[in-house]
Amino acid sequence: MHETTTLLVEVGALLLLLGLLGRLSRRFGVSPIPLYLLAGLAFGHGGLLRLNASEEFFAVGAEIGVILLLVMLGLEYSANELVGNLRSAAPAGLIDAALNALPGFAFALLLGWGWVAGVVLAGVTWVSSSGVIAKVLGDLGRVGNRETPVILSVLVIEDLAMALYLPLVTALLAGAGLVKGGISLAAAVVTVVVVLAVAIRYGHVISSALSAKDPEALLLGVLGLTLLVAGLAAKLQVSAAVGAFLVGIALSGPVAHHATELLSPLRDLFAAVFFVFFGLVTDPMDMPPVLLPALALAVVTMGTKLLTGYLAARRAGIAEPGRWRAGFALTPRGEFSIVIAGLAVAAAQPVEPRLAALATAYVLVTVVTGPMLARLPDLPWFKTWLRRRASMRRPAPAPVAD
């Protein structure tokens, strides 16, 4: 009973603090994400006051937060739109992997950590944070923008690639042979194909099984289905985020519309919990020794991710402002980067002791600066710079003959 009471006090106090921080951030027109992270750092490992009783609650809530963020994004798009966007964004996915994975691999080699650590760090720098980006797009009111499908296509390609990467890196870290690694990879591929096929082909059947007229039944049904599919996907070594996103894609019509309204408050609650938990499990004392390398790596890979989004949006025919919005939006790294670093730390033969601290510092830098950078294209001076840039590119009028 005492533990439950302590849990209620800790959770209640921290949620109240988050509410105040969220109100403060909106008052000044900034994203609340950095404030949520700082709150987690203040009350986590090595912080001012550690919240021991509620850490497990926030760990589970963080998982649910990512899942809800992704299913809500999926509800905005149909299966046909997803397939079309994936086809058009496939070249951008290859560019994304080349521009953002190679710097991490090279950085590990420069530090003398070896090629296995290089493969791990390549994954850390490659994948953008779907959870953070979904939150930023919602906060900035850009979910309906023309560049948003391009951003989502890049994110989905990355998440699908993680379904292949994670089994391989797990086998690599465990020292498994080629056969065992191949079996894990094959299982991941089959799972992704089956879930995607069911979402696209039988989505209308799933929607018809859920009643849009009964809010309680709809909320429980959609939430239960989302958590079930996400959990099964994670058990099969596929991203839970991919499973949740495909559930959102599968739902359509009135069911999708009403589910969006019902799940929005839950998404906001658990999204805040996700960002707080990230800070809670980070010890600020581990950051200083690796802060400069992490900052250097973040500057390089935020630049390459900006280029990735810009090129992907240009290829899709998006105007200049939308290209910059897409590029800046993709800069934060998050949940996958921490998962990948965690695999290396938990391996039977640890790769590099400093890898976890570097990955955490790197993610914190991108998560704090990413939402701020995403606002740049909306600032008056940036719009003025874009207009000047466009006028300089515009050909001069031909001289009029006398």
- Domain membership of residue 66 (yes or no) is yes
- Domain membership of residue 377 (yes or no) is yes
Nearest one of 126, 147, 115, 111 to 289, comparing CA atoms = 111
Query: Mean of the pLDDT values across residues 68-91?
Result: 73
Which segment of 68-82, 130-144, 166-180 scores lowest on mean pLDDT? 166-180
Query: Mean of the pLDDT values across residues 271-282?
Result: 79
Categorize the per-residue pLDDT at 182 as very low, low, confident or very high, splitting at 50, 70 and 90.
low
Query: 46 or 399, which is more confident?
Result: 46
Which segment of 66-75, 79-88, 202-211, 313-322 scores lowest on mean pLDDT? 79-88
Q: What is the pTM of this model?
A: 0.72
Query: Mean of the pLDDT values across residues 182-207?
Result: 71
Which segment of 63-67, 195-199, 395-399 scores lowest on mean pLDDT? 395-399
Which segment of 8-17, 31-40, 122-131, 176-185 scores lowest on mean pLDDT? 176-185
- Indicate if the pLDDT at residue 2 is higher than 70: no
Per-residue pLDDT at 49: 74
Categorise residue 179: left if φ over 0, alpha if ψ from -120 to 50, beta otherwise. alpha
User: Which of 119-122's residues contact partners 24+ apart within 8 Å by CB, and which partners?
Assistant: 119/169, 119/172, 120/169, 120/173, 120/340, 120/341, 120/343, 120/344, 120/351, 120/355, 121/355, 121/358, 121/359
| Ordered DSSP codes for 22-35 | HHHHHHTT--SHHH
**Segment 355-395, tens digit of pLDDT:** 878 888 898 889 888 888 998 998 889 988 888 887 777 66
Number of domains in the chain: 1
**Segment 19-69, tens digit of pLDDT:** 998 888 777 766 677 788 788 888 877 667 777 767 788 888 888 887 887
Q: Which CATH number characterizes residue 151's domain?
A: 1.20.1530.20
- Indicate if the pLDDT at residue 177 is higher than 60: no
- Domain membership of residue 89 (yes or no) is yes
- Domain membership of residue 397 (yes or no) is no
Give the ranges where 30-76 is alpha helix by DSSP (H): 33-42, 55-74
- Domain membership of residue 205 (yes or no) is yes
**Segment 288-347, tens digit of pLDDT:** 888 899 999 999 999 999 999 999 999 888 988 999 999 999 999 876 787 777 667 666
- Domain membership of residue 391 (yes or no) is no
Residue 227 Cα distances to 2, 160, 301, angstroms: 30, 18, 32
Per-residue pLDDT at 85: 64
Q: In the chain, pLDDT over 70 holds for what percent of residues? A: 82
- Domain membership of residue 400 (yes or no) is no
- Domain membership of residue 389 (yes or no) is no
Per-residue pLDDT at 131: 75
Per-residue pLDDT at 260: 85
Nearest one of 108, 152, 63, 115 to 338, comparing CA atoms = 63
Range of the structural domain that residue 45 is part of? 2-382
- Indicate if the pLDDT at residue 402 is higher than 50: no
- Indicate if the pLDDT at residue 96 is higher than 70: yes
- Indicate if the pLDDT at residue 277 is higher than 70: yes
- Indicate if the pLDDT at residue 218 is higher than 50: yes
Average per-residue pLDDT for the chain: 81
